[in-house]
Amino acid sequence: MKILKIQTLRGPNYWSIRRHKLVLMRLDLEEWADKTTSEIPGFYEGLIAALPSLNEHHCSPGHQGGFLQRVREGTMMGHVIEHVALELQEMAGMPVGFGRTRETATPGIYQVVIEYQNEQAGRYAARAGVRMCQSIAETGTYAAAELVQDLRDLREFAASAALGPSTETLIKEAEARGIPWMPLSARFMIQLGYGVHQKRIQATLSNRTGVLGVELACDKEGTKNILASAGVPVPRGTVIHYLDELQGAIEDVGGYPIVLKPLDGNHGRGITIDINSWEAAEEAYDLASAASKTKSVIVERYYVGRDHRVLVVNGQVIAVAERVPANVVGNGRSTVEQLIEEVNRDPQRGDGHDNVLTRITIDKLSLDLLQKQGYAMDSVVPAGERVFLRATANLSTGGIAVDRTDEIHPENVWLFSRVAKIIGLDIAGIDVVTPDISQPLRDVSGVIVEVNAAPGFRMHVAPSQGLPRNVAGAVFDMLFPSPQPSRVPILAVTGTNGKTTTTRLLAHIVKQTGQITGYTTTDGTYIGDYLVESGDNTGPQSAQLILSDPTVEVAVLETARGGILRSGLGFDQCDVGVVLNVAADHLGIGDIDTVEQLAKLKSVLVESVMPKGYAVLNADDPLVSQMAQRVKAQIAYFSMNPDNELVARHTAAGGLAAIYENGYLSILKGDWTLRIEQAVNVPLTMGGRAPFMIANALAACLAAFAQGVKIEDIRSALSSFQASVGQTPGRMNLFKLGSYHALLDYAHNPHSYKALGSFVLNWPGLRIGVVGAPGDRRDEDFVTLGKLSAEMFDRIIVKEDSDRRGREPGVVAKLICQGIAEAISAGTANTSKVEYELILDETTAVNKALDEAPAGSLVVILPEGVNKALTLIEARKPIKESVAMQ
């Protein structure tokens, strides 16, 4: 068995619209290709011995043991690998359920798809699945030690990639609300929502958290002073910098018992509470001073009471937790040490902040505290006796949390919400020491000891006792108060030909509405009128660049085959999805071998349109119109044929459509025909002579109309959009060169050649073609291009790209010539006297064609790259770019 390739999918994709997180493995089964599992002696037995839990997989028989039954009866190895890879992730604590296995067009080569929670773990599990199955097939076993190691590695991936527990709860809430999120490339920030509507969080800081509030909260003394002057009960205290100030400070706060803590500490570090003697105070001073960056120590009165954390979000008290310091309860037999071990065995306890609870660790403070209570680590604790191991209740030192949200007194609710506002925090964690949270603080001498910015959520979301509280919900109510949207409209365009042209036109239409439009195309990524990045930007990363831009109000995204195939769509759903056409191109690449498969791939886009949105489909192309069956959204059809039956039925039922009728581009809405513009007035259609451009324009108009753009805006956009080098470089750019014209166009597959032909054949004079094609197509495709060239041109120069994409020089050109010759002898050529010659160098070929062009002729150049060909044309000083050629 040999793994040929592993890819990670992250959005709606060929295999699933709903399951975005998939690993796709291309696998050569080699000698195992033509054996089913029942034909490999000992395989079934070896597999259940290695992974008995596979019994839980139901598979197609649909009952427990169903999958193993298939293994016993005989199934393909790829299928077993899929189930093993899923099971390994399940066993490592990352349950996943989706898998697919398909043989490709090449016998013995399979595509195995498995779901993941964690990308790296998914890829690892795919490899481990192959390893395990190969070992069992060859030796009958998979060593237990190997499996242990696999599971350990898988768990490590999960642990190392895990976001903090608070971030996790926020993300879960985002997903529950259908708000898209993506990690940003710095500072663990997460973007919530898209474009102008996006918000950011970092742990539990939000983009609304003010820096002044955070700085004040981090300054415990400042916090206390501000609160004290607002009449809020805070501990009596003072700050000192030298030991010789300690005595005076103790007197100032009214004597023992006192608390010493660093001015700038957190997580309970350096704090000693309930200090009752000078000796203890001196020791505590050293501890606190050492924990402070500025050697500043707070001296405070000690207030007796229980420790609470109150979470306030957007001025509202959302949750209250009582924090109980780390402790153990005796059973009359075990020592303190044994009791701690027992408590730490709880799987909920981990190290640091990542688990629900933290393990109890012992330090000098704990030993002192034990001693105060009359115990040592080896003392046996009487049954029922509670022994504290920490004085402070921070969860990060092993404390537990008890929910008290329903017990808090209304006056305290008022007070705490006021406190968060006084400090200036949208999300605040208030630490309160009071004997009873159900009484007003003032009545029971409770105090607020500090206010925390970026408070942890885990004690509220997963308290050790009491009701879990959905605190993340409150954060989202604040960040995205309804009906405020979190998304910007996404209009996405796919198809075999015309994507860039249609995307640009659609973006141009949307711009008329005054909204800031971000769009991606094969030439580059743009925001408004500016280029952000040039390059072939039709994949998910470019989409995400637009969607994470805080200025973008509408996204228009050219969405090409390559990106969907490689990693899925860059968005989970869109508002309008357009499919222009599906025709043979790039077949044989990425295991897409037929036009039907290509159609399935492109339909991913329209299947991802949200139910309220629109799928805009070409009613003249059956491969496209059939996609309607799989679409959950509303449908709108466009057609060049005013009598198209599908459109007629659709509009009769009240549906939306766009058609070309009586020379007009028109929208049909129910019984009404809304004329947008006459094709002759739409420069993009070359005076109405380029039918495929009319089709592209219909699609763009319909998409815009479906999104709510007004007809007037669409009309003015159509008349101001030209197939010029500026707006659509390399797409039907027409130049007048003295007595003849030159046309620069990028057609490079049979479907677009035919489209081009529909325009060229309308040309009254001699038609000359300078043709070639990218080398990564199949041999038969070049022959077809040759035939099609012969159908539209009178004279042809065949040239080659300088980047031949792996082909030997001359091979592609010869195949094109072969096609021309075949067309001539079959009588399908434009004229039986088509002249053709072979000039491999593009520059020489173009210059020759232009030099020899007779008056009234049209030289059509199909260049390797737009810029080079453009330079050659511009050197001849085109008179003016003529577009409408009336």
500 contacts Mg ion (rule: CB under 5 A): yes
Which residue among 403, 431, 621, 842 contacts Mg ion (CB under 5 A)? 431
Residue 499, interface with ligand ATP (CB under 6 A)? Answer: yes
Nearer to ligand ATP, 118 or 581 (CB): 581
Pairing between strand 835-838 and 306-313?
Answer: unpaired
Of 756-795, binders to ligand ATP (CB under 6 A) are 756
The nearer residue to Mg ion, 499 or 807, going by C-beta atoms, is 499
Query: Between 330 and 463, whose beta carbon lies closer to ligand ATP?
Result: 463
For residue 345, which amino acid is it?
R
Please identify, using beta-carbon distances, which residue of 44 and 526 lies nearer to Mg ion. 526
Q: By CB under 6 A, is residue 463 in contact with ligand ATP?
A: no
**Partner interacting with residue 756 (select from ligand ATP, Mg ion, none; CB below 5-8 Å by kind):** ligand ATP
- Interface mask toward ligand ATP for 716-755; x: CB under 6 A: ---------------xx------------xxx---xx--x
Minimal distance, residue 230 CB to ligand ATP, in Å = 18
**Per-residue binder mask for ligand ATP (CB under 6 A), 683-722, x = binder:** ---------x--xx--------------------------
Site for ligand ATP in 534-593 (CB under 6 A): 560, 580-581
DSSP H/E element including 17:
none
Residues 443-462 that bind ligand ATP (CB under 6 A): 449-450, 452
Q: Does 128 interact with ligand ATP (rule: CB under 6 A)?
A: no
Which of positions 211-270 make contact with ligand ATP (CB under 6 A)? 235, 259, 261, 265-269
The Cα 448–Cα 292 span in angstroms is: 21
In whole angstroms, give the CA distance from residue 114 to residue 120.
13
Q: Does 857 bind ligand ATP (CB under 6 A)?
A: no
Sign of the alpha-carbon dihedral angle for 432, 433, 439, 443: negative
Q: In a 10 Å sphere around its CB, with 0-12 CB exposed, 13-18 middle and 19+ buried, how is residue 451 labelled?
A: buried
Instruction: Tell me which residue of 325, 332, 463 sits closest to 398, measured CA to CA.
Output: 325
Residue 393 lies near ligand ATP (rule: CB under 6 A):
yes
- Binders of Mg ion among 504-563, rule CB under 5 A? 522
- Distance of alpha carbon 561 from alpha carbon 834, whole angstroms: 35
| Residue 540: half-sphere exposure toward Cβ, Cα within 13 Å | 21
Two tokens at 520? 């991606």
CB of 639 to ligand ATP, least distance (A): 12
Could you give the CA distance from residue 570 to residue 537 in angstroms, rounded to a whole number? 12
Q: Exactly one of 292, 500, 537, 722 binds ligand ATP (CB under 6 A); which one?
A: 500
Least gap, CB of 678 to ligand ATP (angstroms):
20
Rounded distance between C-alpha atoms, residue 703 and residue 709, angstroms: 9
Q: Is 492 helix (H, G, I), strand (E, B) or coil?
A: strand
> Cα–Cα–Cα angle for 290, 293, 297, nearest 5°?
60
The residue (of 70 and 220) whose beta carbon lies closer to ligand ATP is: 220
- The Cα–Cα gap between 202 and 191 comes to 9
* Rounded alpha-carbon distances, angstroms, from residue 652 to 578, 648, 669: 22, 6, 9
Q: Which two tokens stand for residue 515?
A: 């909204």
Answer yes or no whether residue 499 interacts with Mg ion by CB under 5 A.
Answer: yes
By CB under 6 A, the count of residues binding ligand ATP is 45
Residues in the chain: 886
Angle formed by the axes of helices 119-139 and 43-50, nearest 10°: 140
Partner in contact with 403, chosen from Mg ion, ligand ATP, none, beta carbon below 5 to 8 Å by kind: none
Structural tokens at position 299: 């001296």
Closest contact distance (angstroms) between CB of 690 and ligand ATP is 9
CA distance from start to end of the chain? 64
Minimum CB distance to ligand ATP smaller for 96 or for 545 = 545
Residue with nearest beta carbon to ligand ATP: 498
**Pick from 732, 667, 717, 731: nearest CA to 556:** 717
Query: Are 204 and 411 a contacting pair, CB within 8 Å?
Result: no
Residue 716 binds to Mg ion (criterion: CB under 5 A): no
By the rule CB under 6 A, 316 interacts with ligand ATP: no
Alpha-helical segments (H) within 298-348: 336-344
In the complex, the residues that contact ligand ATP under the rule CB under 6 A are: 235, 259, 261, 265-269, 271, 273, 300-303, 307, 392-394, 431, 433, 449-450, 452, 495, 497-501, 522, 560, 580-581, 692, 695-696, 731-732, 745-747, 751-752, 755-756
In the complex, the residues that contact Mg ion under the rule CB under 5 A are: 431, 450, 499-500, 522
